[in-house]
Structure 1
């Protein structure tokens, strides 16, 4: 039959189809149409629709297979959609409907739609339609359709938007949906809100282990928000809350929550197993919550050496509950702990309990002086000083003693420390407490000291600070009063020298009262400072008589006092200084007398010159006779002869020249002659047989006969002439004649030669 149709004129497919249908040959009509409609032409749209209609009414499975095969494209889709819906082929209906109300009406028939196919269908919808359909599914059967919606949300979350999906589940308060949806997305998200919502949904759905895991592993949830939620949720297991609070520093909040909810075993577990380092914070909060001390003590002892002492002490100290730690600290000490924080805390407890705290502060080698000292300041400043002294905490000790007017303790400490920088600090001009400090150093600290090094350091500090008046106070206290350093050589020196510099009115008193100082050096300084009377007193005190008389002569300029002093000490060197001064002042006779007392021959030239100028030959003779006993000088012997002549002691001259001497008699004779001391000259010339000079000298003496006799011995024409002329002038013609004859004889003898 088909062959006949194909060989003849074109067939009317619709007529043939009707023939089959009139005879109720549904299957044959279907087979025919499937065969002829294979080309899937647009002009066969009616027949494509028809074959689907007849099968959807009679054989829905066949229609479903035809649609599944996808061989037709031009049929009436709305019509087929309606028929699919009536036939219960809801998935095919969904695939053919193009309007949202239709889709929403059909899609709720999830009991008849394969879930995976439905999930895949959501991928064909727009974001808005998909969300609307998901909402309808949840509205119709929240519990039954939740897994399909969750699966669709997970599959298409990028297209739908995570926030939109979350909002959908939240709209229906479906924490289970949120939990399953966010669980797949969590590992790839860093959004704090996503992580929080996952924790929240897990908690509300009873997934405690998952809550514990995420709170322990995730780094992205909002800690504060999560903590607050978990506290409100009051889960039977506190581990999630412990994770959050431990990781993000909410330990006090955690402790308060656990304590108020009577979850003490979790407190113990946290401190002992999770984080012993946070035990101090736990203890602090328990104290705030007025937890029984026995529980807290037990908690502390259960951790013991794992517990950080310093923060624990801080927490207890802030609450004035340090004594709570007594047993714990004593236990650590008994185990040999040298931890500074342990000993600091124990020291604070001992101080608060007033259990012989000074013994602890001075003997315990392990505590921190600054920490414990600071603790003592408000309780007992003197104990603070003990602690600071032990640790040499200079600045802290100075501050606490200033603040509490403990200047005696401050002074003792500074003196004992012997530290130049510390001295410099307390002696600074801008230190408002400097005067009080100095008063205590002077009145107490140094007089008590037995250490020369301490005294030396203090004195040096006062000198460095340029405090001469205060230094005088200090030195007076330890030198003039009965102290261990009263006779100290250096301190006595320093006291006088400082007074010379700063307060000269005190110097004389010091000189009179002190005995063990450097007289020569101090005396020289006094001279330089023009303290002449003080210098004189110093030199006199130390039997430095030459220096003393020099002060009288050179500085005080009193020869009278110098002479009196020389009479008192009867010292050659002193008389010598006096003599020289008298000589300079023109007191020649006095000077000669002093030189004689001094037995000083070293200045004979000056004495001779001065005596001749002053015409004090009597004194000069005495001096030169003394000099001759010590020195054999031609000048001395010559001057002695001349002095004898000047005072007309001719017999002494005659006696002297007969004695051994080193006088230059010729020169002396000539000098005597020139000075018209002819009698003395006659003695000298006669002694040395200088007949020519003797002749002229006798002429001067008008001893003409003697002159002629001397001329005869001289036998010199010149001498004869001089004597001759003198005789003529004196009208001694007979003698002149003798001289003339001798002149002629001398002339004749000369011609003969």
Structure 2
């Protein structure tokens, strides 16, 4: 009998270059039957790879160079999840080449997998996390529950979640008691509790039992316990209240006798067949029925362990991978499983249920026989049950329905056919024929509610026939049935009948159906015109192109006289304004111009169309009274002139815009026509148009147009609108002419006052000729453009004196100078001019111009009354005061007092006026105004050097001083003489004198400066004790007259000694610097000069003895030390009691061997200094002087000397007695032993070596003792050396080199009894005896042969 399963090898991984070592639970993952994912690294040199095999694409292999601890692929998408370093999780979309998510866990992830198409399950040592990879708000995994202790120490091999994600189970295994123990933790999310279960494999599934409204949620697991018994359990979780409770199952799992250590490793549930697939470690597969837990099949499918499994994509079987790399697929063989079960009569019931449940062949005869038997026995309900449950519904035929319809009716019971249909409805969905047969009697009984219920539950199969039956009762429901049955003609008809026109086109497009849209539209238009318009729009706007001809649609609407609907349709259909739509655009406008002109006006106003027949439309617009639209659509000049003169019927603003579209010539012709037709009616419109388009049409042509029609009014209003913006002189002049004509004198006055673009000469002449009653416009023009002389002449000759007065009094008093000048030129009487001036406020008159004007005509005295009036009014204008000054000078009316006391005249102007008249008065004016250059030139030209010197000193301006002391000034010497002789000594202001001195310095005049300073300092003046000037004198002498410096130093007392001394030193004047320091008792600085500059140590020492100051002695001591006069230096340091330079003193004295002097210095230093260098130097000085008692006393006293360093140095330099003292003081036995050797104290040296216990010390003492033939002591040292194998050879060579063979043998023999004696000692003794006492060799070998290196001895 054929097997009930299909067994297939999908691929052999090793054939795809997958190494066998990479095929394991830790490196190979299988999340679904789509992808196998392998991590591989062949050797240390190779880069790690992740290899993906696409099982659904001809086993396509994808390799990526990726290093990770684990890699798992998504169920069916190219999404790869990677785990690195135990905690870093990253998810990549390989197709999109993008990272989807990334996170770092707080603990290591020990197991993970995709538990759904969206989410990962992550198991750590303590908890379980879920992570929705596609939820952008879930940036990190979410903790679901904590692990129980029963999984501690287990290897986690699986994690499962049920479909509604309310139940989870972790599966782990561990090695205990010589077997593999399975441990599980079952967790309920709703209850928040866990249950520990012993088990090796588990799965979640659902089963829908017949008669229950809801499916059962089941949990199944398998275990092999300590007794070796296997069990499969199926239990219900979250039972539904409406279901019959599922009885939990527990059945034995068979394991062959030879498979003692076999146990379940994987479990999957087929949703399609409700079959449990269980795989064991030894490669056995078990198939169980989920409902009854009955074992269907069991056999071995692999000799190797299948370490990972997954359900197939159709949920009909299982896919797994074994350790050989075989990817195996196992599923139910639909053609053989039922016959296989029927072989065992005990499984007949299971076979029937499975065949019915899964629609499997093989049990049809049983169902047929059972149905016939029951039907023949009149058990119609049971027969209906059999037919309803028949596999693949093979008994659900029209014949069966007819048989039930013809069955006899039982009194008081439901008809047999309805019982049959009831069974079918309980089973599921009816087929097409059953649905029709059921609905006929139901609708006949007017029980449409049942139809609605069954349709909503999906119990009926839709068909055209069913829709036709339902259409008579419910059109909407029939439409639904037609849709489901895919009957496009009837769907479209139903949509039209229900008024759902907007759905017709989308449905037709979706169904690929082309209905008769024209006929359908005619039907809809008659039924619902508004909906018809919408539907027509949809037909025309179809994305694939219009479904009806637009003209035909218009015909349909117009046939019903539906102008409004046709208009709405065309507006939408023609919205793209295409050239080929011109006729339709024309038709749209025609129908509205005839029937609804306002609508046509709106359409034209929106400018939606541009391809219609404009001539035709313009004609219709004119007929309809739409003159504006007629003008917009015509280019005929005659038509335009005919229409445009009717300005009373046109919008003024639009009319202006219309002219903006016309050419210049057309515009002018049209405006001419408008003025010719009716100038009164059209003048305002023409003026507005002319104003707006003045720049385009040209002001000259427009002026000519208005002048042609002799309309000053039009010209006035037109030009009035542009005159303020125009720069055309002709425009302004024509406007003035029109304004005069219109008697708009205020406007004339405004224009001449404010406008800047007229010809003043032309306008002036025009206004004179116009002889206006009011002369104000003429006055304004003449005032603005400086025609004052012409104005005055015109007014004077016209005897309009009042206008002249009005002009200077009210209009522009600033023009008074020009008016007075013109009157003087006309020989006007002085009385008239004086009267005119007396009537003017002086504050309003520009005095400088008035004075200049009158002065030019030598009539300055004429202004005296007017100037006195201004002065009385407090006028401070320089021109007023200049004029008064000039009048005072010319009249000799006490001018000097005026020049000194008056502060408002221009000193420069008046000074210039006086230069030739009176230089002294000019000097007063220039000095008052500080006109330096003018004053200097004046005094130079007139020999006034004393006055110049006094002025320059008083001025105290560096720039003035620089000018007069310049080499280019030929009068410099004369000025300097006067400054030194008169100006400077007379001055009482130090600051100004200081400026003068600095000026001499800046001018590099040291000789002259010294003359000046000697006059100021050495002679009795207020500056004699001035410190700054004394400093300056000394500094100048340092640089210019060094020979005078010493005399100045002795005579002066207020100078800055430090500053002057430093300058003297910089100039090499050391004796002078010394004299300065001695004068101010700065002895340290004086010593510095002697030492550092004069470089005389003897003089410095003499100076130190004279002043006897510690600071001076320190300075002298340092100089003596630098000069290697060490004894003198130390003596000076002692006198200064200054130990600060101890380092240099120690170094220098030590090198020079001045130990006794150094001891004196160091004793002094120790009084204030506690420094290791001082104490160390003192100790070593004692050593070199062989003052050992003093050294011992010093070491016993408190000190900070480096005794170790002193000892080392004494030892190196041969001061062994001193070294002995040092090493004894610090108990350095090793160095003391070496020192004692040099002193010949061998016994003491050995004692010290013993206390030091150092190989190096023993070696040194041994060598010394051997050299001095102190063999007893040498042997003591040697015994401490020969126990060290590495020292033995050196000791032997030393004795042999010196020829002390007997002593060597004695030493080695003595060493045989040592506790740490080694083979080398016995061997070397044997060698020595063989060399020097051969007769004793045999005895030695016999005694110690086992401890001798025989080859070396031989």
TM-score, scaled to structure 2: 0.30
Asked whether 1:721 is paired with 2:1262, we answer yes
What's the counterpart of residue 946 of structure 2? 408
Superposition pairs of residues 578-593 of structure 1, within 5 angstroms = 578-593=1116-1131
Asked whether 1:649 is paired with 2:1183, we answer no
SS of the residue aligned with 2:968? coil
Superposition pairs of residues 312-351 of structure 1, within 5 angstroms = 339-345=880-886, 347-348=888-889
Larger Cα Rg: Structure 1 or Structure 2?
Answer: 1
Asked whether 1:422 is paired with 2:954, we answer no
The structure richer in strand per residue is: 2
SS of the residue aligned with 2:934? helix
The 3 A distance-change label for structure 1 pair 403 and 541 is same
Match of 2:1246 among 711, 717, 742: 711
Asked whether 1:549 is paired with 2:1099, we answer no
Asked whether 1:739 is paired with 2:1273, we answer yes
Give 1:639 shift.
1.3
SS of the residue aligned with 1:474? helix
Give 1:657 shift.
0.9
Any gaps of 5 or more consecutive residues in structure 2?
A: 1-792, 799-820, 837-846, 1251-1256, 1281-1306, 1317-1354
Give 1:621 shift.
0.9
- Larger RCO (CA within 8 A; separation ≥ 6): 1
Inter-partner Cα distance in structure 2 for 1:501 and 1:403: 36
SS of the residue aligned with 2:1118? helix
Give 1:383 shift.
4.5
SS of the residue aligned with 1:578? helix
CA contact (8 A) 2:1175 2:1199 kept: yes
Inter-partner Cα distance in structure 2 for 1:591 and 1:543: 24
Q: Which moved more, 1:325-334 or 1:490-499?
A: 325-334
What's the counterpart of residue 1200 of structure 2? 662
What's the counterpart of residue 450 of structure 1? 988
Superposition pairs of residues 101-250 of structure 1, within 5 angstroms = none
What's the counterpart of residue 752 of structure 1? 1315
Give 1:684 shift.
2.7
SS of the residue aligned with 2:1162? helix
Inter-partner Cα distance in structure 2 for 1:611 and 1:435: 67
Give 1:557 shift.
1.9
What's the counterpart of residue 153 of structure 2? none
Inter-partner Cα distance in structure 2 for 1:698 and 1:527: 62
Superposition pairs of residues 460-499 of structure 1, within 5 angstroms = 460-499=998-1037
Give 1:569 shift.
4.2
Aligned length: 454
Give 1:359 shift.
4.2
Match of 1:394 among 922, 932, 938: 932
Asked whether 1:610 is paired with 2:1148, we answer yes
CA contact (8 A) 1:496 1:507 kept: yes
Superposition pairs of residues 253-402 of structure 1, within 5 angstroms = 270-273=829-832, 339-345=880-886, 347-348=888-889, 358-370=896-908, 373=911, 381-402=919-940
Inter-partner Cα distance in structure 2 for 1:317 and 1:591: 99
The 3 A distance-change label for structure 1 pair 271 and 723 is closer
Asked whether 1:626 is paired with 2:1164, we answer yes
What's the counterpart of residue 671 of structure 1? 1209
The 3 A distance-change label for structure 1 pair 331 and 698 is closer
Inter-partner Cα distance in structure 2 for 1:536 and 1:385: 52
Give 1:401 shift.
2.3
CA contact (8 A) 1:699 1:726 kept: no
Give 1:617 shift.
1.1
Instruction: Provide Cα deviations, 1:351-377, integer angstroms capped at 9, x if missing partner.
Output: x58x6x654442233455446556766
The 3 A distance-change label for structure 1 pair 616 and 381 is same
Give 1:570 shift.
4.0
CA contact (8 A) 2:1233 2:1248 kept: no
The 3 A distance-change label for structure 1 pair 696 and 361 is same
CA contact (8 A) 2:885 2:898 kept: no
Give 1:441 shift.
2.0
Instruction: Provide Cα deviations, 1:156-194, integer angstroms capped at 9, x if missing partner.
Output: xxxxxxxxxxxxxxxxxxxxxxxxxxxxxxxxxxxxxxx
CA contact (8 A) 1:723 1:739 kept: no
CA contact (8 A) 2:882 2:910 kept: no
Give 1:337 shift.
8.0
SS of the residue aligned with 2:1314? helix
The 3 A distance-change label for structure 1 pair 397 and 417 is same
Give 1:423 shift.
1.9
Superposition pairs of residues 676-715 of structure 1, within 5 angstroms = 676-690=1214-1228, 693-694=1231-1232, 697=1235, 700=1238, 704=1240, 706-715=1241-1250
Inter-partner Cα distance in structure 2 for 1:453 and 1:631: 55
Inter-partner Cα distance in structure 1 for 2:1130 and 2:1054: 38
Give 1:582 shift.
2.2
Give 1:329 shift.
9.9
Asked whether 1:501 is paired with 2:1042, we answer no
Superposition pairs of residues 83-98 of structure 1, within 5 angstroms = none
Instruction: Provide Cα deviations, 1:295-329, integer angstroms capped at 9, x if missing partner.
Output: xxxxxxxxxx9x987899999999xxx9x999999
Inter-partner Cα distance in structure 2 for 1:414 and 1:325: 38
CA contact (8 A) 1:310 1:341 kept: no
Inter-partner Cα distance in structure 1 for 2:1211 and 2:850: 121
What's the counterpart of residue 528 of structure 2? none
What's the counterpart of residue 635 of structure 1? 1173
What's the counterpart of residue 529 of structure 1? 1067
Give 1:700 shift.
4.8
CA contact (8 A) 2:1234 2:1261 kept: no
CA contact (8 A) 1:672 1:678 kept: yes
The 3 A distance-change label for structure 1 pair 358 and 576 is farther
The 3 A distance-change label for structure 1 pair 330 and 560 is same
SS of the residue aligned with 1:648? coil
SS of the residue aligned with 1:660? coil
Any gaps of 5 or more consecutive residues in structure 1?
A: 1-212, 219-244, 252-268, 278-304, 729-735
SS of the residue aligned with 1:450? coil
The 3 A distance-change label for structure 1 pair 740 and 444 is same
Inter-partner Cα distance in structure 2 for 1:609 and 1:415: 65
Instruction: Provide Cα deviations, 1:331-363, integer angstroms capped at 9, x if missing partner.
Output: 99889887324532454368x58x6x6544422
Give 1:629 shift.
2.4
Inter-partner Cα distance in structure 1 for 2:1031 and 2:1129: 37
CA contact (8 A) 1:638 1:663 kept: yes
Inter-partner Cα distance in structure 1 for 2:1052 and 2:1064: 15
CA contact (8 A) 1:329 1:346 kept: no
Inter-partner Cα distance in structure 2 for 1:276 and 1:465: 61
Give 1:513 shift.
3.9
The 3 A distance-change label for structure 1 pair 698 and 587 is same
What's the counterpart of residue 572 of structure 2? none
Instruction: Provide Cα deviations, 1:370-414, integer angstroms capped at 9, x if missing partner.
Output: 465567667765444333222223233223322343322211111
Inter-partner Cα distance in structure 2 for 1:663 and 1:274: 117
The 3 A distance-change label for structure 1 pair 427 and 347 is farther
